[in-house]
Amino acid sequence: MKLLIRLFFLLAIVLPGGNSAFAQRYSISTNRGPLLAGKDNTLTITVPNKKCADLLVTTDNGSIANDSCSFTLIPSRAGACKLSISVKTKTGVQKICDTTLPVDKIQCNPVCDLAGVNFGNIPYKKLTKAKGLRIGYANCNWEESPYFIKRYKLFVLRKSEVIFMRDFVGHNPDFDDETLGFLSTLQTGDVLNFKNIDVSDGSAARSFGDLNFRVIRDPEEKEPEGDTEWRISIISRKIIVGDTSETVKKTSSTVHDTLLAEKIISKVKAGKLKAYTSSNYNSPTPLTKTEISKIFKADLDTIEVEDVDGTVLKKITEMQYNFNSINSFKVIEKCKYNRRTGKMEISILSVAPLRDYYNEIGTWIGYKPLFWVDYTDVKADINYYDHEHPDHNFERAIWEDYMKKWND
């Protein structure tokens, strides 16, 4: 049975001259116990001999709306809520009374959302309106949110490759112009992964798990095929160079060998090999010394530690990635196909060592190229490595990947 609380108030109206004219009653009832801040609270307000449509009720705490004597009150804060009740008359507005009702605080559960979406698929049109990760609430609405986002890290993945990453720190930090520009280029199936999300209400802090959003975009029109004899396409493939068998893993500590990625990375660090930020072979952008140093800088991560008194604290630590353990690469190739003769020519343009990324519990997120190098600049190193490793080399990895895709 619903709890019904009725409050009756008696208001004496004294006319000019001090003659007592009449006493008027009004009632306020609610179908549940205390009023709750941030929630829709239904009130029934009646004044005898007065039409519901003539009732005028205002509040100093949130908002209130009338629907035929059934009022919806949404307090914006806990504490006191003042209601002013009046009625419309033929001569104007007659004040009935001012009364104060108590409002309790409801425990809201903060959730993170992106342009109003909590998780899962996000339409491209909504994504373009997103200013950053924001706080929402699963079971109530606050006019002034007590929680705010302190920091988060964004990964953008395309078929398991990390194509963009950025750290955001501040009070509900917004996406910067570069991030907004990049998000406008996303395709259907691209995934936005948010990790290291820290939320605070000014005193206490809480961490959220990873959030993933999959972009859904309207199909784009395909460009019409040309009539040229040769058709040129730029393709990419991920390959693994080296023996990853358990036997080699167990004996790797005793084998004095230099991995192909280790050789390339050491040359880039020493300034003996040009590295680029992009695989665009038409207009490559060289990396500066500062940018190269930043690539190999230790990552900052937040972990929870327990103090001697049992208090759980957050501690920022440095995590150094073992770049010399890299054995996977991304290769950009130019494929030329002659439709008249059926002849195909494939040439390698760029090569990139790939770094793997994991979340705080060790789950693999995806990979991202550290940098790109021109194939002609590392061809001699690759040929030497292939000569020393005839069973597990660069050329063999490309051929096996090509044949695998062909058979699939």
Q: Which two tokens stand for residue 355?
A: 């770094």
The predicted-structure confidence for 66-91, as pLDDT tens digits, reads as follows 887 789 998 888 889 999 989 888 88
Please check whether residues 135 and 78 belong to one and the same domain.
no
Please check whether residues 266 and 369 belong to one and the same domain.
yes
> With contact defined as beta carbons under 8 Å apart, do 88 and 19 qualify?
no
Q: Which of 371, 130, 339 is nearest to 228 (CA)?
A: 339
Q: Which two tokens stand for residue 73?
A: 């009150």
User: Does residue 205 belong to any structural domain of this protein?
Assistant: yes
User: Does residue 225 belong to any structural domain of this protein?
Assistant: no
The mean of the pLDDT values for the chain is 75
> With contact defined as beta carbons under 8 Å apart, do 175 and 132 qualify?
yes
Q: What is the mean pLDDT of the segment spanning 133-140?
A: 70
Q: Where is the domain boundary, 60, 79, 104?
A: 104
Query: Tell me, what amino acid is at 185?
Result: T
The predicted-structure confidence for 117-133, as pLDDT tens digits, reads as follows 888 899 988 898 899 99
Please check whether residues 65 and 205 belong to one and the same domain.
no
Q: What is the mean pLDDT of the segment spanning 340-344?
A: 73
Please check whether residues 258 and 369 belong to one and the same domain.
yes
User: Does residue 302 belong to any structural domain of this protein?
Assistant: no
Q: What is the mean pLDDT of the segment spanning 247-257?
A: 40
pLDDT confidence of residue 313: 61
Please check whether residues 193 and 137 belong to one and the same domain.
yes
Q: How many structural domains comprise the chain?
A: 3
Q: What is the mean pLDDT of the segment spanning 172-182?
A: 89
Q: Where is the domain boundary, 190, 216, 242?
A: 216
User: What percentage of the chain has pLDDT greater than the value 70?
Assistant: 69
User: Is the pLDDT reported for residue 374 higher than 60?
Assistant: yes
pLDDT confidence of residue 251: 35
φ/ψ region of 213 (left if φ > 0, alpha if ψ in -120 to 50, else beta) reads beta
229: part of which helix (H) or strand (E)?
Answer: none
Higher pLDDT, 58 or 347: 58
Burial 55-89 (b: 16+ CB within 10 A, else e): bebebebbebebeeeebebbbbebeebebebbbee
Q: What is the mean pLDDT of the segment spanning 197-218?
A: 80
Q: Identify which of 240-244, 371-375, 385-389 has the greatest average pLDDT.
A: 371-375
Quote the domain boundaries for residue 243. 230-297+323-407
Q: How far is CA 260 from its chain centroid?
A: 35
Q: Which two tokens stand for residue 19?
A: 């003659």
The predicted-structure confidence for 292-314, as pLDDT tens digits, reads as follows 888 888 666 665 655 556 665 66
Largest CA distance in the chain: 115
What's the N-to-C CA distance of the chain in angstroms? 65
Q: Looking at residue 160, which CATH number applies to its domain? A: 2.60.40
Higher pLDDT, 60 or 40: 60
Please check whether residues 185 and 116 belong to one and the same domain.
yes
